[in-house]
Structure 1
Amino acid sequence: MNILKSIGIEMTKYKIVKLGPKEVEIPEEWEVSKLSKTSTKITDGTHDTPETISNGKKFITGKHVEDGKILFDQCLFISKEDHIDNISRCKPEIDDILFTHIGSIGKVALIKKNIEFSIKNVALIKVNDKNVSNYVEYVLRSNYFRNQIHFITQGGVQNFIGLSTLRGMKIFIPPLPEQHRIAQILSTVDEAIEKTDEIIKETKRLKKGLMQDLLTKGIGHTEFKKVKLGPKEVEIPVVWELKKIKQVCENLDRKRIPVTSTDRTPGNIPYYGATGIIDYVDDYIFDETLVLVGEDGADWSSFGGTAFVVRGKSWVNNHAHVLRPVNINEIFLAEFLSMWDLQYAIVGTNRGKLNKGDLMKIEIPYPPLPEQRRIANILSTVDEKIEQEQKYKEELEQLKKGLMQDLLTGKIRVKL
């Protein structure tokens, strides 16, 4: 409790209010209000489908709204005439809130930048000056508001919330200064999440560039030769060899055992499929370092991530090939197979498949083992950085989830 007080958070007294079918406790000073009472207008975009063009005015649909984000980089474009017609009915402006009320219901995003666009099949909420837009946005993303959505839509034929229903939905309203402080706290956490996400993306871009260089050019080489890797010609260091996978790995596919989900006994041993862990079981087939490569249902394109290293006890089904590295570093092998475009080796049109024989005949660059280990260490260091940032992001997301639950219901109060 002392820690909470030191950062401006304290406990308070409560009253019981009705929210849908449930009784809920909120602070005595808070009110329960219809969403319409917090807004000057709740409307939605056009219901028509204007013709899209390659370049024009931005046009946002429900597919372009995620929680906290408007995907302008993926938006559609319409003519100036259609745009003017759309905004005459419903003009999105900065600090307005978008709310998806058709199809995928309940995705919410605040308009944070002064960008001109129009909308289709998305509700627009214009918050009045007695409330804080950012606070209302977080409320619309809260558990208690989404529980109302679930109660309203359960058993319905269509995924749809009408505007009249949306206007009548209830939210908790603290005094204005408290709305500002709650929104500030949650925005600070959101900014930290976004910053961490950018670090992850940038580090992944760095790794991609390193893979392209290290896995074909190596470290410190000045002389290169041209070789064929599948249908593609590439330069590799003169001192490197080409080897087929069958020369550097033993195939253990014969030991794989698929087990249906209903027949698996839960445990703590990873159960692998074509793209990674799909379950945890109580027994294992393998207890060693292996490289798994997707046999079907995988992405064999460049940087598709079709290969990965597993260590220790594991169970593998028949959708992943099992390779035991013999004369090759396991990380070097997995990283190369994940980076290189292997689609030339895939058979089948509908559901592609990488046959065992074709996999074992694939040729790969083969540096001396010490250089393989150096390359693997560099890439592993970058992976560790990515994992560290991903863990930190998960911690921030858990913090935000808890803060939203406590702050938006008044369970914990902020000191003003």
Structure 2
Amino acid sequence: LQQRKLRQLKLLKNALLKRMFTAKKSPTLRFRDFSKDWKLHKLQDITDRLDNARVPVTASKRIAGSTPYYGANGIQDYVKGYTHDGEFLLVAEDGANNINDYPVICAKGKIWVNNHTHVLQAKNKKIDILFLMYALKFLNMKKYLVGGGRSKLNAETMMKLALKLPELDEEHNIGVLIKNMDVLITQYKYRIQKINKFKQFLLQNMFI
């Protein structure tokens, strides 16, 4: 039952994304009271790239602390100090574990970022960072990558990516909706893990 609900949630999310992030001037599925066409923007026009502040630190030289230390695929460690402070999008530069679900992460507050992920910050408060994260995740990043075994997303290529954006309130509503769906998906995954662990416990301890 839990597995079936999880599959249904994933299918629903994918269907929503396809109808919202469309090639048309506006999506085929929208919140009520929004009717304006979405406008095309290059990433370089709506975000600043803050890669110059990145500092890679080998594991043996990191000082333990409370600041999340980010690599291409997310948090790798917690360290003392920080390289960035604010609200950012982290887009894997190289070393992505799954290029079919390309790592794009929303990070807030003090963070430490190494040299394997690009750091983007919205140029103004008229961009909802959560919406922007999902818009980037929906793109097929594979066609923009270069290199062989360790595929790379060059900064120049990334900043020229074009995205369609609605007005801020609609961005916010879409971002919150998809985030809530992701929370539900995570909760179902956790429940399934607990059920599987319980089954394993029963098999190991009751049927000897």
Q: TM-score, normalised by structure 1?
A: 0.43
Partner of 1:348: 147
Partner of 1:336: 135
Indicate the RMSD between aligned Cα atoms, in angstroms: 2.5
Partner of 1:388: 187
In 1, Cα distance between equivalents of 2:12 and 2:71: 28
Q: Does 1:207 align with 2:6?
A: no
SS in 2 for 1:246: helix
In 1, Cα distance between equivalents of 2:63 and 2:110: 15
Which of 79, 94, 109 lines up with 1:281 in the alignment? 79
Partner of 1:93: none
Q: How many residues align?
A: 198
Larger Rg: 1
- Report the CA distance between 1:361 and its aligned residue: 1.3
Mapped contact 1:245–1:360 kept (Cα < 8 A): yes
SS in 1 for 2:171: helix
Counterpart amino acid of 1:375?
A: I
- Report the CA distance between 1:402 and its aligned residue: 4.6
Partner of 1:293: 91
SS in 1 for 2:21: helix
SS in 1 for 2:111: strand
SS in 2 for 1:297: coil
In 2, Cα distance between equivalents of 1:258 and 1:319: 8
1:357-378 per-position Cα deviation (integer Å, ceiling 9, x unaligned): 2111111111111111111122
Where in structure 1 are there 5+ consecutive unaligned residues? 1-194, 222-236, 410-416
**With CA pairs under 8 Å and 6+ residues apart, which has the higher RCO, 1 or 2?**
2
Mapped contact 2:65–2:79 kept (Cα < 8 A): yes
Q: TM-score, normalised by structure 2?
A: 0.82
SS in 1 for 2:170: helix
- Report the CA distance between 1:239 and its aligned residue: 1.6
In structure 2, relative to structure 1, the CA distance for the partners of 1:402 and 1:289 (3 Å cut) is farther
Which of 116, 119, 130 lines up with 1:319 in the alignment? 116
**Larger strand share, 1 or 2:** 1
Q: Does 1:371 align with 2:177?
A: no
In structure 2, relative to structure 1, the CA distance for the partners of 1:391 and 1:313 (3 Å cut) is farther
In structure 2, relative to structure 1, the CA distance for the partners of 1:275 and 1:399 (3 Å cut) is same
Which of 185, 198, 202 lines up with 2:4 in the alignment? 198
1:56-108 per-position Cα deviation (integer Å, ceiling 9, x unaligned): xxxxxxxxxxxxxxxxxxxxxxxxxxxxxxxxxxxxxxxxxxxxxxxxxxxxx
Counterpart amino acid of 1:324?
A: Q
Mapped contact 1:218–1:375 kept (Cα < 8 A): no
Partner of 1:253: 51
